[in-house]
Amino acid sequence: MDYPLLISSALIVLGTILLAVSLSPTTRILRELAPGSTQSRWKLLRGFIVLFIAGYVVCLGTFSVEGDVSHVVVSLIFFLGACFVRLVCVLARATVTDIKRIPALEAETITDPLMGIFNRRYLERRLEEEFARARRYGFPLSLLLLDIDHFKKVNDDHGHPAGDRVLKGIGEILKKSVRNVDVAARYGGEEMVILLPHTRDAQAVILAERIRRKIEDFPFPADAPSGSGIPLRCTVSIGIAGMTREGAKAGQLLEMADTAMYRAKQDGRNRTVVFPCLEETAAAAGPAA
């Protein structure tokens, strides 16, 4: 039995199989890539793999009836080359999958699962960034703090599922009301915060009143979607704070907005108040809730 020829043939056949299998992940990657230079390069790689397969088959056909050690060495090199191509294709496919998963994982870590807006962790990070940017370049910066009026009563009278639907509905309203540069986030419980870069108090009041009226007029379902109960009506109290030259910390914006929001509660709820609350800068609107 000619063992060198047998080994050489086996290595070439295995290498050809590896190259053929490598076409699968390459084709999958091509399907997911948008037309462009990257897709063209992957097509070129797939073309090379096909060419290599053809070369391996031709090499196998050129072996003489009797093999020698040189055939084994050449076949081993070919086989290792096929292993390398297979490894590159597998790693590339796994990398593409991981890259596609990263945005989804990031969204999960910075998004409130119920309301669909950002969470407190992301808000605090962005607040520090926007505050530093505004102070450095002299940009205006405003912050809205919203609190649902009598939310405990909603949960007590209609159950927590109804309260969850209210939160989810308000989350949708906020997402549709803000700009891409704004940050709408759930601050905690029934409190939401909207961070408004490049926005002065007067502009913030206009947005706050628009949101307040949308929430006031929105029919939140009291029962499950399949039910026929009378829809809930909810209102919010909103405090607004704008960045001042004296402000030294980003957290002060939240404190000032919180003070204004509690003033809105004291004045009858379902209204917007701008800090400082002692001045006549409040935009009171709507009946008390």
What contacts 240, CB < 8 A, 6 or more positions away?
Answer: 142, 143, 144, 145, 201, 204, 205, 208, 257, 260, 272, 273, 274, 275
For residue 134, which phi and psi values (nearest 5 degrees)?
-65, -40
DSSP the chain: --HHHHHHHHHHHHHHHHHHHHHHHHHHHHHHSPSSHHHHHHHHHHHHHHHHHHHHHHHHHH--SS--HHHHHHHHHHHHHHHHHHHHHHHHHHHHHHHHHHHHHHHHHHB-TTTSSB-HHHHHHHHHHHHHHHHHHT--EEEEEEEETTHHHHHHHH-HHHHHHHHHHHHHHHHHHS-TTSEEEEEETTEEEEEEET--HHHHHHHHHHHHHHHHH--B-SS-TT--PPPB---EEEEEEE--TT---THHHHHHHHHHHHHHHHTTSSSEEESSTTSS--B--S---
* CA–CA distance, 282 with 271 (Å, rounded to integer): 9
190 flagged as catalytic: yes
* CA–CA distance, 23 with 89 (Å, rounded to integer): 8
Kindly name the residue from 124, 190, 191, 209 that is annotated as catalytic: 190
Catalytic residue numbers read 190
